[in-house]
Structure formats: structure tokens, C-alpha cells
Amino acid sequence: MTRIVVIDLHGQFTHLERRALRDIGVDTEIVSADTPADELDADGIVLSGGPDMDRVGNAPDYLDLDVPVFGICLGMQLIALERGGTVGGGDYGGYADVDVEIVDDEDPLVGSLAPETRVWASHADEVKELPAGFTHTATSDVCGIEAMSNVEAGLYGVQWHPEVAHTERGEEVFENFVTICESA
């Protein structure tokens, strides 16, 4: 059975990320971000959302493990910063329903959602510039980079929250990540 751990970056929806994975038959648990990288035993890692970069613990070290990593909101921003991208304040701010346009329908994480899907997202902070080697995979009217992927490195991120009921087809995103982990 595929095992995917959810790294707790202190977001309010972390438990829903674990539940979404459990509901699709994945062996999963929530793990503290203070866990040393060499103690993680998983086929994949989800970096949860969270309030700020000051509480990410050892999460940057997890990007160098030989397993796929899926960053959600703050998790995506962490991946971008650690790989040389930039993050800044969003023009829109708080949580809202957003229509996201998938700009890469070949992307293994979000391509199946093309051409458009409705999501629940926070844009207090967002990725402003992609790191080298990443592909811009989704956009919206309120955020230029709603999703990104580096398939070769096994690093993926979305600005929105696929784990909440307000997001259409959120379960599909998790199923796609499981497929990525099983293929790695």
C-alpha cells in the first residue's frame, strides 16, 4: 500500500489533507515538521498549508528525499523559495472561490482538471516567480501562478486547497499525486 505522510505546517486544514488521502485508500499520517528527514518513511510527502514560513521546521530537508513532494499553499511557497523562486504578498488576500485555468493539460498533478476548475484558495502570499526547472501549470484572474510542477525533480504545488469541500475535483488532485508516487 502506498504511504504518504502529511507534514504539519500548522495549517487549519492539515487534518483534511490526511483524511482526503485516507479516504482514497492511502496509508497516511500527519507528521511534525520537526521530524528529521532521515526518519521519514514514505512513498510521498504532502507539505500542508500553514500561516507562515517561520514554523516550517525541517520541511526544506524533505525536498531532497527521493520521493515526490506535493506542496499545498504554504507548502508550494516553501518549495518555490527553497528552489530559487520568489514569494510575495498577493493582491487579493484572504480565502475565496477562484476559477483556475489549467495551462498545462499534460501535467500529471493538475492536467486532468483542464481546462478550468473552481477552487478554494488563499492569496495572502503567493509564488511570484517560478524556480528554474519548474513549469507553470495553472493560473487565475487573482494569481498568476496557481500551480507549478517540476516533474523531473518530483516537486509539485498548488496555491489552492484541494482538501476542502469548496474545491471542485479536489479528490482527483490527491488521486493524481498517489499515481505520481506509485510511478516514482
Query: How far apart are the C-alpha atoms of 89 and 172, rounded to whole Å?
Result: 28
Of residues 82, 126, 161, 181, which has the active-site annotation?
161
Domain 3-183 has CATH 3.40.50.880: yes
Is residue 166 annotated as part of the catalytic site, yes or no? no
Looking at residue 96, its pLDDT comes to: 80
Looking at residue 48, its pLDDT comes to: 97
**How many Cβ atoms from other residues are within 10 Å of residue 142's Cβ?**
18
DSSP state of 130: P
pTM: 0.97
* Cell numbers placing 93: 488576500
Query: How far apart are the C-alpha atoms of 81 and 183, rounded to whole Å?
Result: 26
Looking at residue 148, its pLDDT comes to: 98
Looking at residue 92, its pLDDT comes to: 72
Looking at residue 94, its pLDDT comes to: 72
> pLDDT of 85-105, one tens digit each?
999 998 776 778 999 999 999
The residue extents of the domains of the chain are 3-183
The single-letter code of the amino acid at 34 is D
Of residues 17, 73, 82, 143, which has the active-site annotation?
73
Is residue 161 annotated as part of the catalytic site, yes or no? yes
Q: Which ranges in the chain belong to alpha helices (H)?
A: 14-23, 59-62, 74-82, 170-183
Looking at residue 93, its pLDDT comes to: 67
Is residue 73 annotated as part of the catalytic site, yes or no? yes
Counting as low any pLDDT under 70, the low residues of the chain are 93
Of residues 17, 82, 146, 163, which has the active-site annotation?
163
Query: How far apart are the C-alpha atoms of 160 and 170, rounded to whole Å?
Result: 10
